[in-house]
């Protein structure tokens, strides 16, 4: 089942579409993170303000170097030692849709530990957007059943894998890391 769902989601992403999919945290809305048109569509769909950033998922730590100018060494140590999903905000993002990159040139990146995500990203060969599957300002859905039906109907594909998982997910820890290596915890 997972293999079939990866193939269906991959087909949609390659065509510039938007999916709702399970992540290593909460259910997400995603697209190819390099596709400007798809990223703009997610902002519109979520009714999200332009200045509110979204994160991207990658499948392995070394992929960060393709989307961030410089990666402080401490970032790799944090990714390896952190015991739950960790999103790191980096300076000097590159090679991503312009709308994803904050006005301060930052981007939040998480190496997903979810097998479905890892395989999807690997096959796409690009990072994917991950933003919670809710309208901006609404509560983050902790289960698939909590996702607004209107949102489900507004995307190009809703992944069937993991829909019945009743484990309540939590958003990732978010850390802002600076070029000099110091960091701040933005969300626990």
User: Where in the chain are the domains?
Assistant: 2-187
**What fold is seen in the domain 2-187?**
DHBP synthase (3.90.870)
User: pLDDT in tens for each of the 188 residues of the chain?
Assistant: 899 999 999 999 999 999 999 999 999 999 999 999 999 999 999 988 776 789 999 999 999 999 999 899 899 999 988 889 999 999 999 999 999 987 888 999 999 999 999 999 999 999 999 999 999 999 998 899 999 999 999 999 999 999 988 787 788 999 999 878 788 999 88
> What is the signed CA dihedral for 31, 33, 35, 41, rounded to 10 degrees?
50
Say if residues 20 and 159 touch (Cβ distance below 8 Å): yes
Kindly list the distances between the CA atom of residue 84 and the CA atoms of 20, 39, 122, 172, 188, in Å, as whole numbers in the listed order.
22, 27, 21, 7, 10
- Residues 96-122: tens digit of each pLDDT: 999 998 788 899 999 999 999 999 999
């Amino acid at each position: 089942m997972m293999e079939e769902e990866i193939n269906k989601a991959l087909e949609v992403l390659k065509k510039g579409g938007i999916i709702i999919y399970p992540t290593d945290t909460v259910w997400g809305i995603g697209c190819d993170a390099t596709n400007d048109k798809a990223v703009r569509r997610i902002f519109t769909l979520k009714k999200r303000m332009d200045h509110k950033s979204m994160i991207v998922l990658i499948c392995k730590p070394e992929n960060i170097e393709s989307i961030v100018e410089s990666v402080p060494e401490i970032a790799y140590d944090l990714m390896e030692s952190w015991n739950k999903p960790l999103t790191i905000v980096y300076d000097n993002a590159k090679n991503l849709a312009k709308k994803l990159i904050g006005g301060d040139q930052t981007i939040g990146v998480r190496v997903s530990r979810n097998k479905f995500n890892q395989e999807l990203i690997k096959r796409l060969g690009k990072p994917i957007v991950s933003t919670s599957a809710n309208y901006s300002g609404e509560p983050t859905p902790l289960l698939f059943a909590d996702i607004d039906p209107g949102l489900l109907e507004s995307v190009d594909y809703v992944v069937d894998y993991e829909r019945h998982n009743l484990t309540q997910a939590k958003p990732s820890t978010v850390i802002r890391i600076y070029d000099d290596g110091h960091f701040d915890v933005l969300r626990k």
